[in-house]
Amino acid sequence: MRKGNLRWLSAFVLHLLFLSLAFCQEALAALPRDYREFKARYQKEGRTPEGAVKLYFEAVFCYIDEATRDEGSKMLRYALHSSLPIERSHTLGTFVERLRDPDKQHIFRSFAAGATPENDYRMSPEDFSITETRRTQESGYLKLFLKSGGADRPRPVWVKEYDGLWYVINNSSTYSGVRPPQSALDRMKNAHDADYDAQGTPK
C-alpha cells in the first residue's frame, strides 16, 4: 500500500476514534432517562464517594424537571438511602420544598463548576461537574467538602458505604441558602418598574 493511502487511512481511523470518544463522553454526561437507568449506573459509579455525590446531583436535576419528577423522586430515595419516598420523609421536607420552588432551584445549580450569581448560576444539567475541595474521614462515614459558586466556604456532604456502594446520608448543606442570582437582585432593586415583573431583565 502506498504511503499516501496509509496516511489517508490513518487519518480516517483517528477521525472515527475521535467521533466515538466524543459520543461516549456525551452519552456519559447525559442525565439518566429513568430510575432503571439511574440504578444501573449506580452499581458502577456509586462505588466511589465522588461518584455517589455526582449521581445525587443528577437525581436532583431530574427531580427539578417536572417531566422527570416521578423518576427523579425514586432516584433521590435511592441516592439518599431513604426508607421512604422523599415527599413522605419528615426530615426532608425543606429539601423537597426547595427542589419544587423555582426561586430556590439556583441553590442546587450553584454546585456546578462555573455557576455563579453573576451568570445567574447558569449550567447544563446534561453536562456538569462538581468540585470537591477536600474530604475527612469520620467514624463510619466520609465528609466531602464541595465548592458552591454562591457560598464563601465549601459545603460538607456526608456519605456512607453500604454493601460496597456509597450513599449521601446528610445533604442539608446542598439546599442551604446561597447568594441570590444577579437577575433576582435586579428585580428587587427595580421592584417599582413593571418591566422587571417578568423573569430576567428588560431588553
Q: Are β-strands 165-170 and 155-162 bridged in parallel, bridged antiparallel, or unpaired?
A: antiparallel
Q: Which three cell numbers stand for residue 54?
A: 455526582
Residue 184 covered by a domain: yes
pLDDT at position 31: 96
pLDDT at position 187: 77
| SS3 (DSSP) at 155 | strand
pLDDT at position 185: 84
Residue 162 covered by a domain: yes
Least confident window among 2-11, 85-94, 165-174, 186-195: 2-11
Residue 160: what residue type?
K
- 108 touches 175 (CB < 8 A): yes
| SS3 (DSSP) at 125 | coil
Number of Cβ within a 10 Å radius of residue 127: 13
Cell numbers 447568594 label which residue? 179
- pTM for the model: 0.80
Residue 186: what residue type?
D
Q: Tell me how long the chain is.
A: 203
Distance between CA atoms of 72 and 64, rounded to whole angstroms?
8
Distance between CA atoms of 8 and 76, rounded to whole angstroms?
49
Residue 81 covered by a domain: yes
pLDDT at position 190: 63
Distance between CA atoms of 164 and 49, rounded to whole angstroms?
11
Query: H helices then E strands: how many in the chain?
Result: 7, 4
Domain of residue 94: give its range.
32-188
Distance between CA atoms of 30 and 32, rounded to whole angstroms?
6
Rounded average pLDDT over 139-162:
98
**Count of domains in the chain?**
1
Residue 16 covered by a domain: no
Q: Is the pLDDT of residue 36 over 70?
A: yes
CA 113 to mean position of chain CA atoms: 10
Q: Taking the C-alpha atoms of 149, 150, 154 and 158 in order, what is their torsion angle to the nearest 10 degrees?
A: -100
* Greater pLDDT, 56 or 10: 56
Residue 18 covered by a domain: no
H helices present in the chain, as ranges:
3-29, 35-45, 49-64, 69-79, 93-100, 106-109, 182-189
Residue 39 covered by a domain: yes
Residue 145 covered by a domain: yes
**pLDDT 10s digits, 13-29:** 444 343 333 333 333 45
Residue 19 covered by a domain: no
